[in-house]
Chain A
Amino acid sequence: MSASAAVAVHSLWTTAAEPAADRIGAPAIEYAQLAPTLIVVGAAVVGVLLEAFVPRRARYHAQVFLTVVALAAAFAAVVALAAGGHATTKAGIVAMGAIAVDGPALFLQGTILLTSMVAVFTFAERRLDPAHHGHRVDSFAAEAAAVPGSDQEKAAVKAGFTTTEVFPLVLFAVGGMLVFPAANDLLTLFIALEVFSLPLYLLCAVARRKRLMSQEAAVKYFLLGAFSSAFLLFGVALMYGFAGSVSYARIADVVDGSVADITPALAGTMGNDVLLLIGFAMVLMGLLFKVGAVPFHMWTPDVYQGAPTPVTGFMAAATKVAAFGAMLRLLYVVLPGLRWDWRPVMWGVAIVTMLAGAIVAITQTDIKRLLAYSSIAHAGFILAGVIAATPDGVSSVLFYLGAYSFVTVGAFAVVTLVRDAGGEATHLSQWAGLGRRSPLVAAVFAVFLLAFAGIPLTSGFSGKFAVFKAAAEGGAGTLVVIGVLSSAIAAFFYIRVIVLMFFSEPKPEGPTVAVPSPLTMTTIAVGVAVTLALGVAPQYFLDLAGQAGVFVR
């Protein structure tokens, strides 16, 4: 570096004292456009205060009320923004360039908020387990810090403690997820990732039953999640090194070579494609980890199995929506200029993900692990739409995410109902003959399985059709063929579960189906309703996703 450049650099942190005071302007924050996120995060902070000040008896009701009201208010804010034209004509960048408020962001935020609301109902469910010492219990540990089986734990159960902290944790996670698909620079992307990941790690660790498995799932998720976010951060550093900025628009300009003000340093780094390609690959790695795509899927089955089932449902649905939203924005806004570099890689990832998810799922014997591998296969199907790199690709992915998240939350809600003395009966052999014993629950679960399999008249079919159509039109015909093949493989094990439920004899000492409170019933009913509505009459929602499919830059 030349001497003059060095002086210029040093002048950045050694400046004359007088003008500095009036040169730092307050940032302009558009509170109205940020309202959904602010409501959720604000409610989460209030939730922490409730933990401190509200007496233990009243906490559960206060927290559930606060959480549901906050999510509903945030959803109303999203609808108001969309109705006000912020999804289309008035789409823009807010908060000093950190957050984009546009069609995809608002659509995904709405999806995340609705899914989390129905997922929170399953968090609040307290009628599945018999009451302990006269206290009704939910799915979460009486005292998560107590060693499993210890006297301390027994005392906590006897005293009727509950982990009501899960509700503020969910709100913090939702807050991060709302920002994640709207992040418009790499720093916001990283912070949002951590904000929604850290509460999820904790939520995984607080199951009431099978606590060792729950803790193990949390450790695995935490260590691998931290590992992958370190990769993402190093990718952020390299991309910053390449472009001299973390703003998406600026990086896109530098990639296209259309920047006006090229400094000598920028001229040096922007010729260095290694920085860009490695940096981009590492950021993408972090995102693919979050969606659970092969080869970054190893955590998915263990975490889905070990985490408390309400948390699994929430995590499986909402994390996927948020992470695919962030991936779409990164690929479509920042790096359309690199399309010829990332498409072959993503082709490979999508093919391996679809096939591995579908094939390994066949060998599973645990219903939660089965659904985990099915979610891996679905990540592959969604990637096919991402690869299309057309406007239809964006809207089909948005539609698929909306359809898939409700099916997932509903399916995991049904899993919480089938129980034996040790808690949930998740082994597939225990589900044999469920259709004879509780036809309604089995029928509802069959609807969800058919939607996962993509049978017509369910949302799974409309979603898969939209994604594969977009992929075929985007020139990924081979991918569509492989996608349909792996759908057929996947259909085999979904149908196998249905056959197991309806056409085999129930075991005498088999599990019972708990009668849930209206909370879980609402979750399941909403899941079924959305699944059938999006399957029978998808056009309105496809149009909605189509209108929302344009990113602001």
Chain B
Amino acid sequence: MNPVNYLYLASLLFTIGAAGVLIRRNAIVVFMCVELMLNACNLALVAFSRMHGNLDGQIIAFFTMVVAAAEVVVGLAIIVSLFRSRHSASVDDASLMKL
């Protein structure tokens, strides 16, 4: 199968993720959409790696997974602490600092 098709899929997934970040209101769902974007990046990297016939892209995909895991640790810690003090994970409710 032509690897270019995977790039179209990656762009589509990335766009869905980005749209989700902008549209959804729950911090956890927003965060999951970011993870979807990172996975779209991985797919694009691996597809490009296949096209170019070198392994750089696959290596970067591994690094991305590690970064995504680290981000989950930090992100969930922050979101859970916010949820525990407000009983809501909505990003709209978090507006103490509006002018």
Contacts and interface: CB of A to CB of B under 8 A. Distances in A.
A246 B96 CA distance: 42
B4 to A, nearest CB: 10
Interface in B52-99: 52-57, 59-60, 63-64, 67, 70-71, 74-75, 77-79, 81-82, 84-86, 91, 94-97, 99
Q: Which 7 pairs show the lowest CB-CB distances between chains A and B?
A: A230-B37, A241-B48, A244-B52, A237-B44, A233-B41, A216-B94, A226-B34
Between B10, B31, B56, B79, the greatest number of chain A beta carbons within 10 A of the residue's beta carbon is seen for B56
Contacts of B77: 202
A227 B56 contact: no
A15 B91 CA distance: 50
B52 A269 contact: yes
B22 to A, nearest CB: 9
Given A194-B71, A201-B78, 13 more contacts: A190-B64, A198-B74, A215-B82, A223-B75, A223-B91, A227-B34, A230-B14, A234-B14, A236-B41, A240-B60, A241-B51, A244-B52, A245-B56
Q: What band does the interface of chain B fall in when counting residues whose beta carbon is under 8 Å from A? A: 35 or more
B93 to A, nearest CB: 9
Nearest to B2: A1
B78 to A, nearest CB: 5
A238 B48 CA distance: 8
Interface in B7-57: 7, 10, 14, 17-18, 21, 27, 30-31, 34, 37-38, 40-41, 44-45, 47-48, 50-57
A265 B38 contact: no
Contacts of B31: 223, 226
B21 A227 contact: yes
A191 interface: yes
B97 A306 contact: yes
The main secondary structure of chain B at its interface with chain A is helix
A12 B97 CA distance: 54
Between A5, A12, A205, A227, the greatest number of chain B beta carbons within 10 A of the residue's beta carbon is seen for A227
B72 to A, nearest CB: 10
A263 B41 contact: no
A202 B78 contact: yes
Contacts of B79: 219, 222
B45 A240 contact: yes
B37 A223 contact: no
B48 to A, nearest CB: 4
A108 interface: no
A29 interface: no
A234 B78 contact: no
A147 B78 contact: no
A145 interface: yes
A77 B82 CA distance: 41
A12 B55 contact: yes
Contacts of B3: 1
A213 B52 contact: no
B78 A263 contact: no
B7 A244 contact: no
Interface of A: 1, 5, 8-9, 12-13, 144-145, 147-148, 187, 190-191, 194, 198, 201-202, 205, 211-213, 215-220, 222-223, 226-227, 230-231, 233-234, 236-238, 240-241, 244-246, 263, 265-266, 268-269, 301-302, 305-306, 363, 369
A454 B3 CA distance: 54
Given A202-B77, A234-B40, A240-B60, A5 B53 contact: yes
B89 to A, nearest CB: 9
Contact of A187 (B52, B63, B94): B63
Nearest to B22: A227
Contacts of A266: 52
Contacts of A268: 51
B54 A244 contact: yes
19 contacts: A9-B53, A12-B54, A194-B70, A202-B78, A211-B85, A215-B81, A215-B82, A216-B95, A219-B94, A222-B78, A226-B34, A227-B37, A230-B14, A230-B18, A236-B60, A240-B48, A263-B52, A306-B97, A363-B99
A245 B53 CA distance: 11
B5 to A, nearest CB: 12
Nearest to A220: B94
Contacts of B44: 234, 237-238, 241
Contacts of B81: 144-145, 205, 215
A194 B2 CA distance: 33
Contacts of A215: 78, 81-82, 85
B71 A226 contact: yes
Contacts of A194: 67, 70-71
B45 A190 contact: no
Given A223-B30, A233-B38, A305 B63 contact: no
A241 B7 contact: yes
B96 A230 contact: no
B74 A201 contact: yes
Contacts of B95: 216
Given A190-B67, A240-B45, A216 B56 contact: no
Contacts of B63: 187, 190-191
A528 B2 CA distance: 62
Contacts of A12: 53-55
A251 to B, nearest CB: 12
Nearest to A363: B99
Between A213, A240, A369, the greatest number of chain B beta carbons within 10 A of the residue's beta carbon is seen for A240
Nearest to A223: B30
